[in-house]
Structure 1
Amino acid sequence: MPAAPPPPRKPNFAWSLLRNSWRQLTSMRTALVLLFLLAVAAIPGSVLPQRAVSPEKVTAYYTQHPDLAPKLEQIGGFAVYASPWFAAIYLLLFTSLVGCVVPRLRDHFRALRTVPPDAPKRLERLPQHAVVEERADDPAEAAQAAASELRKRRFRTRVREQGDGSWTVSAEKGYLKETGNLFFHFALLTVLVGVGFGHWYGWHGNRILVEGNDQGFCNSVTQYDESSLGPRVDAADLPFFCLRLTDFQAAYQTTGQPKSFDADVEVQTKQDGPWKARHFTVNNPLRLSQANVHLLGHGYAVELRYTDRFGAQQTKVVPFLPTDGLFTSSGVGSFPDVNIDPKTNKRDVNLQVGFEGVFVPTVDPAGGATSVFPAENNPALFLTAYRGDLGVEVGNPGSVYSLDQGQIANGELKKVSGDRPQRLTPGQSWTLDDGTKVEFLATRPFATLAVRYDPTATLVLAGAVVGLLGLMLSLGGHRRRLWFRISPRDGSGSLMEAGGLPRTDYPGFAEEFGQIVGAARGPDGGTP
């Protein structure tokens, strides 16, 4: 008695779901959708200011949009490329490309090693078909002549003898199209890998560098206004170099639009080494051995000197951040270590002084603290004085470009300058109600610098170049196959039949097919 057949296996739902999900993820359609999503996700990074590139613009955005900015901060709008949702799209795209390219590479390698298939029995059913009724040579010679002509045109050919005495020639061309496709996808993977490793092992820092030898800085995390190190980078790994801004030139059109920015700096690359003069511009960064220094923007720093009630003086150079395209700029000069009694050497925290100010490089003749041109044609500084506890000893983080509004709100910091700001021009001074004095000495230009190191920048560039070449090959290549069947005729000579099949959309295939058939007819031409 035969054994009963085994019961049918129950489908594993979890395995089926996982397999189908993987197939969907590694399909070309999904890869294209993810690539499109990555491009769309990068748009906010181009529209919104990014903290990693320009923190001062983020601060200005908070000032201009106090309600919208916190909501954008919650979803990573000011750090798009470090947000979880951008990383998720990035990793899904990488996985999809790997799962898509590896099988295609295997199939392409197999196709390159496979000889062209033999001619189909009925060539007249192909999109292109032609018959040469009479040829003077025998079938073997005619087949070799046709194969030789096809090889001249860089076709892969195979000549076969059939059992009925006829000969066939199979030819194929256009593998560069798939090769270009694979190059493009591998280049895209290279770019993704390069960006990822560049994030791990790279670092960057932003710094506002004011002109003057007393305002230089060295490459240290503590000396950057904002910095970010890759997960594989420690502060001790940063290379040594120091910079100081010696000159800055800005040129503008008559409309106030910027024309050119040029920065002259001195660079020290070794401890106690010589300082070397260098020059760079917006589109031509300063290239050091392990970092590039990019010029992002510029502005004006105000030099203030404060004389306290005991005659002691302090001088500070304070960068003022632009708030519009004509460089109306705002900033704060804080003097917490003033009014120290020389007899007791004690300081009263309630006698600290701060100045909120608006600097205008070219003041509006009609009045008001607004600029009408970005160059210093008629500079003016509008100051508002505050006296009291600045709140710097509390330990709470705060902005160096504004006073602590909490201290003003609770009365710890009081305005002492009246209702209207005091207008000063370079060289003028202002005496406060307690006999102390603030002087507007001069202005200095400053440059906003982005110092960056990306160890995979060359790899990403190579990937981009290879991707462009692969795209050109993919668009320019056309896969097609041709066949010739040469049959012997009664008596002497042979009959040639040709057929062609384009594997991809190729409008010029009919013309190419006609040229090849015409050349394969031989010097006698035959009778079509």
Structure 2
Amino acid sequence: MAAPELNFRELARWTWRQLCSMRTALVLLLMLALAAIPGSVIPQENVDAFAVGKWQDEHPKLTPIYEWLGLFSVFESVWFAAIYILLAISLVGCILPRCKVYWKAMRAAPPKAPSNLLRMPNSTSYSTTAPADEVLAEAKRVLRKRHYRVIERDGAISAERGYLREAGNLLFHLSILIVLAGFAMGSLLGYKGGVIVVNGSGFSNNLSQYDDFVPGALMGVEDMEPFSFTLKDFDIEWLMSGPRKGMAQHFVAHLDYTEEPGGEEKSYDLRVNHPLSIGGTDIFLIGHGYAPSITVRDGEGNVTYKGPVIFLPEEQATFRSFGVVKAPNAEPEGIGLEGYFYPTFALIEGNPASIFGDDRNPRLSMLAYTGDLGLGAGESQSVYVLDKSRMTQLTKDDGSMFRVDLYRGETVDLPDGAGSVTFEGVEPWVRVQISKTPGKLIALGGVILALIGLLGSLFIRPRRVWVRVRREEIDGAEQGIVEVAVLDRSSAGETGDEIVEIVAALRGSAEPATSGLEDEEDRT
């Protein structure tokens, strides 16, 4: 006979029970962990938009698929949010019923003693001449001293402890909710942005100053701290020996900052993992590079561009960097340059390369173009990309490729009287990440509570103890037989020592029990 079909109410109830099961919560937690992996492996738009663009240029076939899946902004994607919300609902559905059951268990008395204690796996007995009332009174005192909840019922003692083990389990699951709430609060009310600051220049905390900015859904401009800072200097220590020779070991950005307009100017040495905190905003040092100072003159001798140009490192070991220079107002045509900066230039088997990250022998090597740079009204373009679709590459008189190859302090004239380029010098730049995450302390508190709950659930042993005294005639004399049983409810603890210590305390001796006890211990 086929089972009847579920109506809408029954189907909804079944779905809710499945969602709120611990098995589903664990599966969703695993899915959330797996879903976070692409966000760590694939470049993210809200972290490094330039790296995303570079990855897309290198993988043109995969880019449409990744964009459709939202892999370039994993943590803002619909599917990640769905897992996040389902996990929160599942945890709430798991915790609330268990809290109700735990509340009843906390108020309930220890269960009454089984009819035959000696049939239990961990049990023993011994004889005594003391009255039953004295034995039971002593059992109460001993067990309470060992932090048991004790009750006397039907001539036997029932005791239980370890109620906080379940509290630890509940606290652990509740802490996951707290962590999720902290992250959600940070995503909704906070913001995160990045900016590259050249040595000697400054930054004010307003939207127009950011290179990239990701606001929370409920974040307002009034939530931004009105601070500003200036990069006064940037120091780098390079390893000069060993297997990591040439690598940057230690770098510090020296900042002068004010917390509000017209406020007191303060100084701070910004280092990796040592952010500057202003109010609820943190400023992190996350990268550095070089900005060659370049002067471009047009065919009429007018300066159409002058200043440092940010070049982005392509090789972290040697800091070979790529950059673009744009002079759209040059006459008669706009001038564009793109190419590489080599901090310590050298020819290796005839190929240009940088052999060291420090700017000991800086050299520029760039291609030159003239024409429309595509920066007209209504057109937007990345400062790190040169649109060459409407431009012409400059060549030598013989038609061969022309390159702007310059050491520091040198000038080269462009072909056809287009102008000249001068390499004035080099300035360092730093990339800082500025973020405000209101829920970070809540998330941290959740992590601490999770650790406390986990420790409680691992090390607290819920146990039950029963003590009963019965009278028997032994060798013509009536004596009391004290029966003691211990039950470990965690199925992971040894109760042999516990029962020996309880019996020893009841008999008023620190020594192990007599032969009668040892015989019974063979079953424990």
- Same fold per TM (> 0.5)? yes
Instruction: Verify: 1:359 aligned to 2:341, yes or no.
Output: yes
1:430-445 aligned within 5 A:
430-433=412-415, 434=417, 436-445=419-428
User: How much has 1:57 moved relative to structure 2?
Assistant: 2.5
1:374-389 aligned within 5 A:
374-389=357-372
Match of 1:425 among 383, 404, 407: 407
* Local SS of the residue matching 2:456: helix
Q: Which amino acid aligns with 2:328?
A: P
1:240-251 aligned within 5 A:
240-251=226-237
Could you say which residue in structure 1 is the equivalent of 2:354? 371
On the 8 A contact 1:135/1:494 being kept in 2, the answer is yes
Instruction: Verify: 1:131 aligned to 2:115, yes or no.
Output: no
Segments of 5+ residues of structure 1 without an aligned counterpart are: 1-9, 340-347
Instruction: Verify: 1:179 aligned to 2:167, yes or no.
Output: yes
1:62-211 aligned within 5 A:
62-132=56-126, 134-160=127-153, 162=154, 167-211=155-199
Could you say which residue in structure 1 is the equivalent of 2:210? 224
Alpha-carbon distance in structure 2 between the residues aligned to 1:147 and 1:385: 94
Give the number of aligned pairs. 496
* Local SS of the residue matching 1:303: strand
Alpha-carbon distance in structure 2 between the residues aligned to 1:436 and 1:397: 26
Q: Which amino acid aligns with 2:266?
A: K
1:299-314 aligned within 5 A:
299-313=289-303, 314=305
* Local SS of the residue matching 2:72: coil
On the 8 A contact 2:226/2:259 being kept in 1, the answer is yes
Identity, % of aligned positions = 36
Match of 2:18 among 20, 24, 49: 24
* Local SS of the residue matching 1:112: helix
4+ long deviations beyond 6 Å: none
Instruction: Verify: 1:270 aligned to 2:260, yes or no.
Output: yes
On the 8 A contact 1:482/1:500 being kept in 2, the answer is yes
Q: Which amino acid aligns with 1:300?
A: Y
- Residues 70 and 242 of structure 1: CA distance in aligned 2, closer, same or farther (over 3 Å): farther
Alpha-carbon distance in structure 2 between the residues aligned to 1:12 and 1:241: 61
Instruction: Verify: 1:287 aligned to 2:270, yes or no.
Output: no
Alpha-carbon distance in structure 2 between the residues aligned to 1:514 and 1:38: 47
Alpha-carbon distance in structure 2 between the residues aligned to 1:65 and 1:426: 36
- Residues 509 and 271 of structure 1: CA distance in aligned 2, closer, same or farther (over 3 Å): same
Alpha-carbon distance in structure 1 between the residues aligned to 2:402 and 2:122: 88
Alpha-carbon distance in structure 2 between the residues aligned to 1:303 and 1:80: 37
User: How much has 1:445 moved relative to structure 2?
Assistant: 0.8
On the 8 A contact 2:394/2:402 being kept in 1, the answer is no
- Structure 1 residues 437-446 or 479-488, which shifts more? 479-488
Alpha-carbon distance in structure 2 between the residues aligned to 1:241 and 1:193: 28
Instruction: Verify: 1:476 aligned to 2:466, yes or no.
Output: no
Alpha-carbon distance in structure 1 between the residues aligned to 2:132 and 2:159: 17
Q: Which deviations, in whole Å up to 9, do the C-alpha atoms of 1:94-148 show, x marking residues without a partner?
A: 000000011111111111111101101121232211111x212111110111121
User: How much has 1:70 moved relative to structure 2?
Assistant: 4.1
Q: Which deviations, in whole Å up to 9, do the C-alpha atoms of 1:424-447 show, x marking residues without a partner?
A: 111111111215111111111111
Alpha-carbon distance in structure 2 between the residues aligned to 1:58 and 1:259: 27
Alpha-carbon distance in structure 1 between the residues aligned to 2:422 and 2:337: 12
* Local SS of the residue matching 1:324: coil
- Structure 1 residues 359-368 or 488-497, which shifts more? 488-497
Superposed CA RMSD in Å reads 1.9
User: How much has 1:321 moved relative to structure 2?
Assistant: 0.7
Q: Which amino acid aligns with 1:460?
A: A
User: How much has 1:229 moved relative to structure 2?
Assistant: 1.2
On the 8 A contact 1:198/1:456 being kept in 2, the answer is yes
User: How much has 1:368 moved relative to structure 2?
Assistant: 2.9
- Residues 71 and 364 of structure 1: CA distance in aligned 2, closer, same or farther (over 3 Å): farther
Match of 1:510 among 493, 496, 499: 496
Q: Which amino acid aligns with 2:446?
A: G
On the 8 A contact 1:138/1:488 being kept in 2, the answer is no
- Residues 241 and 417 of structure 1: CA distance in aligned 2, closer, same or farther (over 3 Å): farther
Instruction: Verify: 1:400 aligned to 2:383, yes or no.
Output: yes
Q: Which amino acid aligns with 1:332?
A: V
Alpha-carbon distance in structure 2 between the residues aligned to 1:54 and 1:23: 42
* Local SS of the residue matching 1:373: coil
Q: Which amino acid aligns with 1:514?
A: V
Instruction: Verify: 1:316 aligned to 2:298, yes or no.
Output: no
* Local SS of the residue matching 1:302: strand
User: How much has 1:262 moved relative to structure 2?
Assistant: 1.3
User: How much has 1:420 moved relative to structure 2?
Assistant: 4.6
Q: Which amino acid aligns with 2:180?
A: L
Alpha-carbon distance in structure 2 between the residues aligned to 1:312 and 1:506: 84
* Local SS of the residue matching 2:159: strand
Q: Which amino acid aligns with 1:169?
A: I
Could you say which residue in structure 2 is the equivalent of 1:5? none
Q: Which deviations, in whole Å up to 9, do the C-alpha atoms of 1:318-366 show, x marking residues without a partner?
A: 1111112221111101011233xxxxxxxx5xx1111112011122332
Alpha-carbon distance in structure 2 between the residues aligned to 1:246 and 1:73: 40
User: How much has 1:492 moved relative to structure 2?
Assistant: 5.4
Could you say which residue in structure 2 is the equivalent of 1:500? 486
Q: Which amino acid aligns with 2:311?
A: F
Alpha-carbon distance in structure 2 between the residues aligned to 1:310 and 1:221: 37
* Local SS of the residue matching 1:319: coil
On the 8 A contact 1:286/1:294 being kept in 2, the answer is yes
Q: Which amino acid aligns with 1:146?
A: A
Q: Which deviations, in whole Å up to 9, do the C-alpha atoms of 1:39-97 show, x marking residues without a partner?
A: 11111111122222222332332344343344323322221111111111111110000
On the 8 A contact 1:139/1:493 being kept in 2, the answer is no
* TM-score (normalizing by structure 2): 0.90
On the 8 A contact 2:227/2:257 being kept in 1, the answer is yes
* TM-score (normalizing by structure 1): 0.90
Q: Which amino acid aligns with 1:311?
A: G
Q: Which deviations, in whole Å up to 9, do the C-alpha atoms of 1:254-307 show, x marking residues without a partner?
A: 434332221111112221334322112111111111310011111111211112
